[in-house]
């Protein structure tokens, strides 16, 4: 008798999972925490609330730590960052097409932690003691001592579950610091290679 594939039954979720596919949030989070990723700081400049009113608050720098960042294409040069839907950075990049990325080094764990805090103080205070320059095209902060810095312009936004995938065309890419290794994120903690 020839081997014939047997029918497989669909995965039926347990009542505790809450997902039709049968995986709980905790199971998915635990599995994905085993994937090491690099750590970047995504920055952009929020435009003034009312540019015609000199007494209105001016533009403000905004930053967010991200571990879901990747190269998409070499020609044209494209990158992708995943943002929690409805987050301040997601809402800002929906209006502001120019943004920047600083690839953090292993000595910049404090920066990653600072911009990952929930319920944090204003971003203006978070940038206060961090050395940075401004991007030539984006005017966004580029962190001093980062392993690489990129300036980007949004090409596409894609809704994906509870996140927005922002695909950006790279306008500039520099490697200002060759010192040290990358900051990585693995099993829920910032780590160093080696």
Alpha-carbon distances, residue 30 vs 23, 24, 33, 120, 173 (angstroms): 11, 10, 5, 26, 33
Q: How far apart are CA 21 and CA 145, in angstroms?
A: 43
pLDDT for the residue 14: 47
Q: How far apart are CA 34 and CA 188, in angstroms?
A: 9
More confident residue, 52 or 136: 136
- Determine the average pLDDT of the residues in 119-142: 88
Structure tokens at 148: 């690489």
Rg (CA), the chain: 20
Q: What is the pLDDT of residues 90-115, one digit of tens each?
A: 999 999 999 999 999 999 999 999 99
Percent of the chain at pLDDT > 90 equals 56
For residue 125, name the pLDDT band (cuts at 50, 70, 90). confident
Residue 75: pLDDT above 90?
yes
**Taking the alpha carbons of 141, 147, 153, 158 in that order, is the dihedral positive or negative?**
negative
In the predicted model, what is the mean pLDDT of the chain?
Answer: 85
Q: What is the pLDDT of residues 136-156, one digit of tens each?
A: 999 999 999 999 999 999 999
Say if CB 71 and CB 103 are below 8 A apart: no
More confident residue, 7 or 62: 62
Alpha-carbon distances, residue 35 vs 25, 29, 51, 129, 151 (angstroms): 16, 10, 44, 32, 26
pLDDT for the residue 32: 66
Q: What is the pLDDT of residues 4-35, one digit of tens each?
A: 555 554 544 444 445 556 888 888 777 766 66
Burial 37-58 (b: 16+ CB within 10 A, else e): ebbbbbbbbbeeeeeeeeeeee
Q: How far is CA 4 from the centre of its chain?
A: 46
Residue (of 64, 112, 115, 109) closest to 89 by Cα position = 64
- Determine the average pLDDT of the residues in 34-54: 81
């Amino acid at each position: 008798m020839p081997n014939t594939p047997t029918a497989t039954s669909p995965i039926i979720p347990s009542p505790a999972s809450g997902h039709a596919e049968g995986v709980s949030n905790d199971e998915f989070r635990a599995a994905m925490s085993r994937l090491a990723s690099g750590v970047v700081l995504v920055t952009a400049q929020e435009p003034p609330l009312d540019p015609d009113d000199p007494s209105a608050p001016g533009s403000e720098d905004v930053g967010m730590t991200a571990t879901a960042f990747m190269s998409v294409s070499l020609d044209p040069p494209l990158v992708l960052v995943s943002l929690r839907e409805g987050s301040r950075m997601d809402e800002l990049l929906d209006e502001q097409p120019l943004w920047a990325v600083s690839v953090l080094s292993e000595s910049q764990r404090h920066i990653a932690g600072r911009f990952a805090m929930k319920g944090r103080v204003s971003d203006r205070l978070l940038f206060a003691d961090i050395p940075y320059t401004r991007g030539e095209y984006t005017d966004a902060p580029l962190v001093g001592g980062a392993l690489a810095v990129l300036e980007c312009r949004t090409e596409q936004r894609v809704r994906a579950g509870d996140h927005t995938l922002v695909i950006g065309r790279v306008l500039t890419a520099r490697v200002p610091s060759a010192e040290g290794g990358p900051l990585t994120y693995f099993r829920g903690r910032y780590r160093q290679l080696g």
